Amino acid sequence: MDKRPAFDVHNLRKRYRDPDVLANDGLTFSCYQGEAFGLLGPNGAGKTTLVRQLVGLLRPTAGEITLFGEAVRPGHPVGSRVAYLPQGSLSLGELKVAEAVAWTAILRGCGKATAVAERDELIETLELTSIAARPIRKLSGGQRRLTQIALTLAGRLPVVILDEPTTDVDPSLRRRVWSLISRRAREGTAVVLVTHDVAEAEKALDRVAIMSGGRIVAAGTPSELKAHLAHRTRLEVAVAEGSSTTPAEIAGVFANGAKTDGRRVSAWVPADEAIAMLEKITTSFPADALEDVRLVTPTLEDAYLELSGHYLEEQR
Amino acid sequence: MSSRASSHRDRLGILLRMQLARVRTAWRPYVIVSSAMPLGIAVLLRAVMDPKQVDRFGEQIVAGSVVLAIAMTAVVMLAQRIASLKENGGLEFYSSLPVRRWMVIASVLVSFAIFSLPGTIIVTVLGALLFNLSFAALWAAVPVWALGSFALAGVGVAVGLAAPDEQLAGMYSNLAMMAVLFLGIIPAGKLPGWLGPVRAVLPSTYAVQALKPGLEGTISGGQVVDLAILAGFGALLFWAVRGPLWPRPE
C-alpha cells in the first residue's frame, strides 16, 4: 500500500490495575491516510481502551504508538491532528448546535470564514438545519449524537476517530453518517471507526480488525474476511403464520444444527450443498407452510460473528 | 470575515465564550444563591448587634459577606462544575482539542470570576446600606473582586480536580466555604490563636483585608500588599491546577 500511515501501533498492551484486567494484549496494526479502518468486536473486547490510547488519554502498559511517525505520549494531546468522538455524552449543553460546530472548527485552527463554511456544510449534510439554533441540552439522544459527529468532523483534521458514532441515530440518518465518513476517507482523512453496527458500516469500511479478548483475531478488507466463510451459505426459512409445521420440524432437517428465532430458522450449509438443501426443504414441507426461503451470501457481520467467537457461543 | 488560520487569541476568545454560555442556563444560581446566603448572614448579624457593635464590626461583616458571595460562585459552584466535567468526560473534550491547557483553565477561571460579579455587587451595595458604610471608596472593591475571584476560582478548580466525584466536590467546597465564612466574617482578634495559620493560607483572608478599608472610605498601603498576596495566590493556584493537579492519563 503506497498510502502514508497515520497510526502505527506495535505490540500494544494495556493492563488496568483495578480491577486487574488485560484490556489490550499485543496489538499491532497500521491505519493509513485515505482509508476507513474499522475496529469491530463484542463489548469488552478492548476497542475503546485502544482508541483512548491512540489519542493519548490512556497510558499504554507496553508497546508503541506513532502518529505520522511521531510517538504518541500519554497526557500530550494529539488534538492538532486527531479529532476524537468518544462514546460518552456531550458536555456543551448550553451551546447552540451551529455555534458549537463553528467554534470547534475555530478551536481546531480554522479561520472564521472557513469555520462558517464547514458549519453550514456539516449541518446540511447531517440534516441538522432545523435544530441549528437549538441548545444542545434540549436535543434528543440521536440529535446530540449527530451534533457530536459534526463537532468531530469540524476543522477537517487529517485523522478522525469515531467510537460508536451511530448510537441512538435513526436508520435513515445512519446512512448519511456512513456516507459522510466514507467521503471523508476518500478525500484523504484517516478514519478509525469503532462500531457494533457491522452490517451498515460494511459499505464505509476499507479495512477491518476484529477484536476479541483484547487481541486482534482477524484483519483485512471486508472481502478478505468474508472469504473465511466462502465455503458456506446461510439458508433462512420463515414458517408461515398459523401453519401446522413447526420451526423445530424444519430445524430437524439440518444435520449440523440450526438456529430458531420465533418463526424463523437459519442454518449454515456447505456452499456446494446449498441448492440441494433448498430443494429438500421446499419438497419436504407443504408450500403454504413456508412464508420465505432464501440463500444468503455471508456478510461482514457473519464474518465478524464467526471470527469473534459469537457463533460458537450461540451454537452452545 | 477572514479565512486565515485562527490565532491563540481567537481560540482563547472562543473558549471564554463557551464557558460564558453557561450563564444562559445557570444565571439564577449565580445571582440568587451567591447573594442570598451572604446577605442573609449580614441581615441576621445586623439584627442581633447593638449600635456600638455595628459601628465597630460593620466593615468586617460586609467585607466577609462580599468575599463569601464570591466564594459561593468561584469555589462551591465551580468545584462542582469541574468535578462534573471530570466525571462525564467534559475535560477530555477540551483535552482532545488543539488548545493549550492554560487557555482552558484561564477561560474557566475568568468566566467564573465574571459569574461572581452580580453577587459581589448586590452584597457590596446592600451590605454598605445595611451597615451605613461609606460609598466614597467602594471602587476599591473592583480590584478585590478581580484578584479575589480569580484566586478563589483557583481554589474551586483545585477542589473540583482533587475530588473523586461531584458529590464529594460539593462537600469539600462547602467545607472550604465555611472556612471562608467564619475566618472572613469573625474578626481575627476574636478567633482562637491556632486558627491563625489557617487564616494565613486562605486567599479569602487577604480579600477581606483588602476590601475593609474601602468600606471604611479610606485607602491604605496595606491594601496593595493584600492585593499583591491575592495575585500571588492566583498565580500559584493557576500553576497548580495546570500542572500537578490536572488529571494524568491512567
Write the pLDDT tens digit of every residue in A265-275: 999 888 888 89
Of A77, A91, A110, the CB nearest to B96: A77
Tell me the average pLDDT across B141-164: 94
Using alpha carbons, list the distances in angstroms from residue B239 to A97, A100, B31, B160, B225. 33, 29, 29, 15, 21
Region B186-208: mean pLDDT is 88
Q: In terms of Cα–Cα distance, which of A16, A53, B49, A191 is closest to A178?
A: A191
Q: Is the pLDDT of residue A314 over 60?
A: no
Among partner residues B10, B89, B249, which is closest to A106 by beta-carbon distance?
A: B10
B25 lies within 8 A of chain A by CB: yes
Distance from CA of B135 to the nearest CA of A (A): 37
Q: Compute the distance between CA of residue B44 and CA of residue B51 in angstroms, rounded to an integer.
A: 14
CA distance B34 to A141: 33
Examine the pLDDT at B203 and tell me if it is beyond 60.
yes
Confidence of residue B2 (pLDDT cuts 50, 70, 90): very low
Contacts of A90 in chain B (CB under 8 A): 93
The string of pLDDT tens digits covering residues A208-235 is 999 999 999 999 999 898 888 888 898 9
Mean pLDDT, range B9-36, rounded to an integer: 90
Least CB–CB distance from B11: residue in A74, A107, A135: A107
Please give the helix or strand (H or E) that residue A70 lies within, else none: strand A70-71
| A91 → chain B, closest CA residue | B90
Confidence (pTM): 0.84
Range A251-255 average pLDDT? 87
How far apart are alpha carbons A119 and A97 in whole angstroms? 9
Chain B 158-217, CB below 8 Å of chain A: which residues? none
Phi, psi of A4 (to 5 degrees): -80, 130
**pLDDT digits 0-9 by tens, A15-65:** 998 788 999 999 999 999 999 999 998 888 999 999 999 999 999 999 999
Beta bridge partners of B67: none
Instruction: Report the share of chain A in percent with pLDDT over 90.
Output: 63
Across the interface, whether the CB atoms of B89 and A91 are under 8 A apart is answered yes
Parallel, antiparallel, or unpaired: how do β-strands A232-239 and A207-212 relate?
unpaired
Peptide bond connecting A171 to the previous residue in cis, omega within 30 degrees of 0: no
Mean pLDDT of the B69-91 span: 91
For B132: left if phi > 0, alpha if psi spans -120 to 50, otherwise beta; the answer is left
Those of residues 43-82 in A touching chain B at CB distance below 8 A are: 55-59, 74-75, 77, 79-80, 82
pLDDT in tens, A164-173: 998 888 888 8
Question: Phi and psi (nearest 5°) for B232?
Answer: -65, -45
**pLDDT score of A310 more than 80:** no
Confidence of residue B247 (pLDDT cuts 50, 70, 90): confident
- Which residues face B202 on adjacent strands? none
Is B2 in Cβ contact with A112 (below 8 Å)?
A: yes
The segment with the largest mean pLDDT, out of A57-66, A285-294, B83-92, B183-192, is: A57-66
User: What is the chain B residue with the closest CA to A90?
Assistant: B90
Task: Specify the pLDDT at position A2.
Answer: 63
Angle at CA of residue B93, ends A102 and B22, nearest 5°: 65
Least confident of A5-9, A40-44, B124-128: A40-44
Cell of B248: 494524568
Task: Report pLDDT for A208.
Answer: 93
Mean pLDDT (chain A) is 90
Structure ipTM: 0.84
User: Which of residues A293 and A311 earns the better pLDDT score?
Assistant: A293
Neighbours of B15 (CB within 10 A): 25
pLDDT the model gives residue A205: 92
Q: Which residues of B touch A82 (CB under 8 A)?
A: 96
Please tell me if residue A192 touches chain B, with a CB cutoff of 8 Å.
no
pLDDT confidence of residue B3:
59
Question: Residue A313 above 60 pLDDT?
Answer: no
Helix ranges (DSSP H) in chain B: 8-20, 23-28, 34-48, 51-71, 78-87, 90-95, 101-115, 117-130, 141-162, 166-185, 196-200, 203-215, 221-242
Distance between CA B215 and CA B195 in Å, rounded? Answer: 25
Q: Which residues contact B53 (CB under 8 A, 6 or more apart)?
A: none
A84 pLDDT above the threshold of 70: yes
State the pLDDT at residue B89: 80
Average pLDDT over residues B21-29: 88
**What is the mean predicted confidence (pLDDT) over B11-15?**
94
Residue B168 or A307, more confident? B168
Helix (H, G, I), strand (E, B) or coil at A174: helix
| DSSP letter (8 states) at residue A235 | E
Question: Is B250 close to A59, i.e. CB distance below 8 A?
Answer: yes
CB contact under 8 A, A108 and B98: yes
Determine, for residues A58 and B250 on separate chains, whether the beta-carbon distance falls below 8 Å. yes
pLDDT for A312: 44
B28 touches chain A (CB under 8 A): no
The answer to whether B98 contacts chain A (CB < 8 Å) is yes
> What is the H or E stretch that residue A233 is in?
strand A232-239
CA quadruple B210, B212, B213, B217: dihedral positive or negative? Answer: positive
Which residue of A91, A101, A114 to mutate against B (max B Cβ within 10 Å)?
A: A91
Q: What is the pLDDT of residues B88-119, one digit of tens each?
A: 888 888 888 889 889 999 999 999 999 999 99
